Amino acid sequence: MLDEKLLKKAMMNVTDDTIITFGKYKDKTFRNVYDSYKHYVEFILAVQNPGKDFNLFREYIKRKEDEKAKIITPEDMKAIDNFLNTL
């Protein structure tokens, strides 16, 4: 597995436009694959002992999932508002 310090340093240069350099979706951007191929995203997350580039994409996926988890949708706001009104 890639050293944690090296991985964090490498992730500083990863963006939505980073190009995948391996596998079935080689030459596509991280964002394109993340948005369009959910089955592949699930596969990436499940692989044990990935290589460096593979691991970068996995960390990108985790970062995107964390960002998604932090977004409050209008439906969430309505549910929160309804809950607060019951107090």
Per-residue model confidence (pLDDT) at position 2:
54
- What is the token pair recorded at 7? 């991985």
Q: Where are the domains of the chain?
A: 4-85
Summarised one tens digit per residue, pLDDT across range 66-87 is: 888 777 778 888 888 888 888 8
Residue 4, sorted as left (phi over 0), alpha (psi -120 to 50) or beta, turns out to be: alpha
Joined together, the tokens standing for residue 86 give: 């019951």
DSSP state of 86: T
* Cα end-to-end distance, the chain, whole Å: 49
| Segments of the chain scoring below 70 in pLDDT | 1-2, 7
